[in-house]
Amino acid sequence: MPEYQFITIWEFEAPLGEVWHEIKQMDAWPSWWKYVAKVELLQPGDVDEINSIRRITWKTALPYTLTFDSELTGLERFKRMEGRAFGELKGKGIWTFSSENGKTTVQYDWLVNTTKTWMRLLAPIAKPIFTWNHDKVMKAGYIGLKNRLLQKSALA
Residue 59: partners with Cβ closer than 8 Å, 6 or more residues away: 34, 35, 36, 37, 65
The total domain count for the chain is 1
Q: What is the pLDDT of residue 41?
A: 98
Query: What's the average model confidence in pLDDT over 75-93?
Result: 98
Angstrom distance (rounded) from CA 70 to CA 82: 10
What share of the chain in percent tops pLDDT 90?
92
Is the pLDDT at 74 greater than 90? The verdict is: yes
Query: What's the average model confidence in pLDDT over 35-46?
Result: 98
For residue 45, the enclosing domain spans 4-155
Assign residue 74 the CATH number of its domain: 3.30.530.20
Q: What is the pLDDT of residue 37?
A: 98
Count of beta carbons in the 10 Å neighbourhood of residue 40:
12
What mean pLDDT value characterizes the chain? 95
Residue 86: partners with Cβ closer than 8 Å, 6 or more residues away: 68, 69, 71
Q: What is the pLDDT of residue 152?
A: 87
Query: What's the average model confidence in pLDDT over 5-25?
Result: 97
What share of the chain in percent tops pLDDT 70?
98
Angstrom distance (rounded) from CA 116 to CA 24: 27
Please name every residue paired with 38 in a beta bridge, in sequence order, or none if there are none.
57
Q: What is the pLDDT of residue 153?
A: 83
